[in-house]
Chain A
Amino acid sequence: MERFICRGGTDALSLPPYLVEVMSIKAPEQLHLSSTAMVQAARHMERSGWIRLPFCNTICSESLGAKPVLSLTGARVKEPPYTSPDQHPRDITTAFPRMSALLEALDDLTASGAAVAYSIEGPFTLLTSLLPMGKVFSALRKPLGQELLTRAECWICQYASLVCAHGVKLLSFADPVATPDIVGDRLFTTVYAPCMKKLLRRIQTENPEVPIFLCGKMTQCLLDLGLCHTAEWQPHTACVTFGQALSVFCSQRTGNAILGHFCLNLLDAKHPCVERIIFEH
């Protein structure tokens, strides 16, 4: 099986500059706080039958108290809002303008039959957007660490269920802070992978109709450490691109699934198959 090498990073989810001109957007708020503009931009960025929202990263952090800086190419959390884990809120909140605009955009898109792939981030990336990274890793070495991970699991599940209730067809899961080249094999294997597996299972249980697509880089890390294997699925109808194969899989699928070992930034790639991810026991 071919190794997956990540080349895209997060750039592919940024709004291309030509779109900003086409849509006559002058200020970031015009994009981030308007469901109409979000829908328009998302439709421009449709690839192989899938729509991805270029604005959704950091919304989960914002729902937990982060104050993202809005720009025409996306939103980013400049500094973590908390200095200690005991300052974290218990639940996510949905009562803020960007969330309202996003959910309205999701409703509009899915009501018109669009297939939306929605990006959510894993516990390490979420936690490090809320607390200084050193504090997060320090807590993980102490009894508090498990509590922190459980808390993150609850937040991410709440968020995933929320967007699924608004018609999302596929959840895209990534956790760029959690790869073994950053955290090391030991922490990844003993702490992160079990936590992620539990989280994904819970998301599946709560949203059985929505497959989860695991970022290719993450899948490759799991494969390298013998924590999962893959099973190739080929569509019976003629497909040219990865996005088309993914659409066929989602339409024919029975029971929920975790997919991966490729990249949603490559929906147009001539790669007409899908890899299922099977975790080792």
Chain B
Amino acid sequence: MSRKEELLAELDRCVLEMEDEAVTGVAQEYVEEGYDAYEGITEGLSKGMEKAGQLYEEEEYFVPELLICSDAMYNGLDVLKPHLKVSADQGSKCPVIIGVVEGDTHDIGKNLVKIMMDTAGFEVFDLGRDVAVETFVEKAKEIGHGIICMSTLMTTTMNNMSRVIEALKEQGLRERFAVMVGGGPLSKSFADKIGADLYTANAAEAAKEAKKLAERLLASF
């Protein structure tokens, strides 16, 4: 195994085994050796995160493990990102705007979806939790096209999702964005009723389905 392969394997392991501090040293060594930062992300950090996601699906890992793995991944990314060469196809990625709708602060599910989306290669704009309708729309205007991903755990705030969709229509943005929804009290029938494009029941499925949705959306332009 070459030194580069060793370091990639170590980046992968640091993420998978939740070494959120050690990962920065490995990433630093990787760039100091002059290896490609993009590969460090795709063949090292992301691989570890994909494995962590798999363990989460298999109920070997739970939310704490997945969050620490993602912290490790982001710590590694902080080191590698400044060394990325600008890629011609960067702009072709489908951006994702994600947030918990207004009135709700339960963001575990949203954070998991964000991690999975990041791992799947999406450019994710995380608006956080308790996000006002206007904030979603403002970000949509700024980004221009992509996927809007909303979650809530409370029945009392579910209707804020349809308010976002209505606001997108009013602003003439609906055709430029695919809308995904998820969260404890939601269902496919609710998603259909409010005119969302996709409902998924868990984070891993959300990222997989988002890829298909993105392909359809980008093809429609």
A residues neighboring B (CB under 8 Å): 9-11, 14, 69, 71, 73, 76-79, 133-135, 137-138, 140-141, 177, 181-184, 187
Contact = CB atoms under 8 A, between A and B. Distances in A.
27 contacts: A9-B154, A9-B184, A11-B156, A14-B156, A69-B130, A71-B103, A73-B103, A76-B103, A78-B128, A79-B128, A133-B107, A134-B67, A134-B71, A134-B111, A137-B63, A137-B64, A137-B65, A137-B68, A138-B20, A138-B68, A140-B64, A177-B108, A181-B62, A183-B62, A183-B63, A187-B62, A187-B64
Contacts of B68: 134, 137-138, 141
B153 interface: yes
Nearest to B106: A176
A184 B67 CA distance: 13
A139 to B, nearest CB: 10
Contact of A133 (B18, B62, B67, B156): B67
Interface in B32-52: none
B162 interface: no
B13 interface: no
Given A14-B156, A135-B71, A183-B64, 13 more contacts: A10-B154, A11-B155, A11-B156, A76-B104, A133-B67, A133-B107, A134-B70, A138-B18, A138-B20, A141-B68, A177-B108, A182-B63, A184-B62
Given A78-B129, A134-B71, A184 B64 contact: yes
Interface in B113-154: 128-130, 153-154
A50 B89 CA distance: 62
A9 B153 contact: yes
A182 B128 CA distance: 20
Contacts of B65: 137, 184
B109 to A, nearest CB: 10
A181 B130 CA distance: 23
A9 B64 CA distance: 22
A73 B184 CA distance: 20
A147 B153 CA distance: 31
| Most A C-beta atoms less than 10 A away, residue of B61, B68, B153 | B68
Contacts of B128: 78-79
Contacts of B155: 9, 11
Contacts of A76: 103-105, 130
A135 B156 CA distance: 29
Given A69-B130, A78-B130, A133 B111 contact: yes
A134 B70 CA distance: 8
Nearest to B68: A138
A138 B71 contact: yes
Contact of A182 (B104, B108, B130): B108
Interface string B144-183: 0000000001111000000000000000000000000000
A113 to B, nearest CB: 32
A267 to B, nearest CB: 20
B48 to A, nearest CB: 15
Contacts of A181: 62
B71 A78 contact: no
B32 to A, nearest CB: 26
Interface string B77-112: 000000000000000000000000001110110010
Contacts of B70: 134
